[in-house]
């Protein structure tokens, strides 16, 4: 009958929300490559909390088992030590492809390995997605815009990238990974999603991974001067990791291929960042200027209108709110390190 009162009064017409598991809606099996790293481990936490089965693939080049140890023993969690440069056979519904060193210090350490990871690693994961019909999400980067001539950067901007420089293994690598994703999408019907991630920070960043936020926070805690490269007037936009993880999830579950900028539009010079770190950790911290690295982008700030409109996503946590949230994690790890050295 069309009378809502009679319908709800009948036990077999109970509201859907009271049914614990819907038939046909089995939980998803999800691969997270690079799940032992900073962003990947936070993503794994979210997926496990949501009730999915998660397989992490990681070669532990920059990742750490410590980031995942709280899931060991959970039957819905599986860890495979594997290098994505080599093929792998699995059966899953979704692939979040994060495997790739992200800090400039790490990706320049072995540039040939970095570009192999970006090209062969992404090719293998797309081949896997094609074979099993899985949806594939690529974590690309704001570095595809290079040293941008457009500000802020929109997804329609094609970038200003040096193809033969010391950063090229990473930024050209990620550009090729985007190309591969789009070609598998158009040519083989793979459902792809592309995120262009802007600088992200939070707990579990490598203590000495060389990125600016982790450097400044660790330096302030260790009572060392904050190392500002160049004149410190270059800018970046810093996003807290939980905002990014929410964005990656919204992108994967949504209907749009992208690419989508995922970042916090709040823009800071490195000198301003140093001031916020001083306010947050130690007002007596000093600054030491060091020469800048080659091809360092002068400014970077995402235009996130596309993600706002199509993914209904925007970051919630400002730099001043987010920084304190990583300090206790850094303090604990620095303390353990010192104890390990017998200090
Ligand atoms: P991370 O270095 O902490 O994590 C990367 C993970 O990938 C590590 O666990 C590492 O061991 C693993 N890995 C590297 N090479 C591998 C290989 N060949 N096979 C298997 N595993 C491999 O970096 P992150 O900050 O967590 O970045 C994750 C992803 O997000 C990367 O693809 C990065 O390019 C992208 N991204 C990050 C940022 C950021 O600010 N954090 C910005 C832009 C893009
Ligand atoms: N691949 C993989 N796992 C799979 C399917 C493919 O690792 O389940 C790898 C495969 O070894 C190849 C790449 O993905 O190197 C691309 O696969 P595709 O089938 O698209 O191309 P082809 O094998 O024909 O070159
Ligand atoms: N930087 C700095 N001090 C540091 C590390 C980095 O001033 O100890 C600068 C670096 O030169 C760049 C910016 O901070 O201009 C961001 O560098 P990071 O390596 O964090 O990320 P990028 O955006 O370059 O990939």
Examine the pLDDT at 4 and tell me if it is beyond 80: no
**Ligand 2 geometric centre to CA of 1 (Å):** 54
Does the beta carbon of 120 lie inside 6 Å of ligand 1?
Answer: no
- Is-contact 263 237, C-beta < 8 A? yes
**Ligand 2 geometric centre to CA of 149 (Å):** 37
**Catalytic status, residue 96:** no
Q: 3-state class of 159 per DSSP?
A: coil
**Ligand 1 geometric centre to CA of 101 (Å):** 4
Does the beta carbon of 202 lie inside 6 Å of ligand 3?
Answer: no
Does the beta carbon of 55 lie inside 6 Å of ligand 3?
Answer: no
Task: Spot the catalytic one: 96, 107, 145, 170.
Answer: 170
The closest residue, in CA terms, to atom 34 on ligand 1 is 102
Smallest-distance ligand from the CA of 34: 1
pLDDT at 168: 97
Smallest-distance ligand from the CA of 132: 2
Q: Minimum mean pLDDT among 113-122, 168-177, 331-340: which range? A: 331-340
Examine the pLDDT at 138 and tell me if it is beyond 70: yes
End-to-end CA distance of the chain: 77
Does the beta carbon of 234 lie inside 6 Å of ligand 3?
Answer: yes
pLDDT at 17: 42
Q: Is residue 47 very low, low, confident or very high in pLDDT (cuts 50, 70, 90)? A: very high
Q: 3-state class of 325 per DSSP?
A: helix
Distance CA 79, CA 101 (A): 18
Does the beta carbon of 229 lie inside 6 Å of ligand 3?
Answer: yes
Examine the pLDDT at 161 and tell me if it is beyond 70: yes
**Ligand 2 geometric centre to CA of 196 (Å):** 25
Q: Minimum mean pLDDT among 9-23, 24-38, 96-110, 261-275: which range? A: 9-23
Share of the chain above pLDDT 70, in %: 92
- Is-contact 144 178, C-beta < 8 A? yes
Examine the pLDDT at 20 and tell me if it is beyond 50: no
Smallest-distance ligand from the CA of 33: 1
Model ipTM?
0.97
Examine the pLDDT at 205 and tell me if it is beyond 60: yes
* pLDDT tens, position by position, 207-262: 988 999 999 999 999 999 999 999 999 999 999 999 999 999 999 999 999 999 99
Q: For helices 212-221 and 270-280, give the axis angle rounded to 10 degrees.
A: 40
pLDDT at 342: 55
**Ligand 3 geometric centre to CA of 242 (Å):** 21
Does the beta carbon of 203 lie inside 6 Å of ligand 1?
Answer: no
Among residues 209, 227, 218, the alpha carbon closest in space to that of 338 is found at 218
């Amino acid at each position: 009958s069309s009378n809502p009162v009679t319908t709800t009064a009948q036990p077999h017409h109970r509201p859907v929300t009271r049914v614990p598991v819907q038939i046909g809606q089995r939980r998803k099996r999800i691969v997270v490559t690079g799940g032992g790293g900073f962003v990947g481990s936070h993503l794994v936490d979210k997926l496990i909390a949501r009730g999915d089965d998660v397989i992490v693939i990681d070669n532990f080049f920059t990742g750490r088992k410590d980031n995942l140890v709280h899931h060991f023993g959970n039957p819905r969690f599986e860890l495979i030590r594997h290098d994505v440069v080599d093929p792998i056979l699995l059966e899953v519904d979704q692939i979040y492809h994060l495997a790739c060193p992200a800090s400039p210090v790490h990706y320049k350490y072995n540039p040939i390995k970095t570009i192999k990871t970006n090209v062969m690693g992404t090719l293998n994961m797309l081949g896997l997605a094609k074979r099993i019909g899985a949806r594939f999400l690529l974590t690309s980067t704001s570095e595809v815009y290079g040293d941008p001539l457009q500000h802020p950067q929109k997804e329609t901007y094609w970038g200003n990238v040096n193809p033969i420089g010391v950063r090229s293994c990473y930024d050209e690598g990620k550009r090729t990974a985007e190309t591969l994703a789009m070609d598998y999408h158009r040519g083989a019907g793979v459902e792809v999603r592309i995120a262009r991630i802007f600088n992200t920070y939070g707990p579990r960043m490598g203590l000495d991974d060389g990125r600016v936020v982790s450097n400044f926070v660790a330096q302030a805690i260790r009572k060392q001067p904050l190392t500002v490269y160049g004149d410190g007037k270059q800018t970046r936009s810093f996003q807290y990791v939980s905002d990014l993880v929410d964005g990656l999830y919204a992108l994967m579950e949504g209907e749009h291929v992208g690419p989508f900028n995922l970042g916090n539009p709040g823009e800071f010079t490195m000198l301003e960042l140093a001031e916020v770190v001083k306010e947050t950790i130690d007002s007596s911290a000093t600054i030491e200027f060091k020469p800048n690295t080659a091809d360092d982008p002068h400014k970077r700030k995402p235009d996130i209108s596309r993600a706002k409109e199509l993914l209904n996503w925007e970051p919630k946590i400002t730099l001043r709110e987010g920084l304190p949230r990583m300090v206790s994690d850094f303090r604990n790890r620095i303390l353990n390190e010192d104890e390990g050295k017998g200090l």
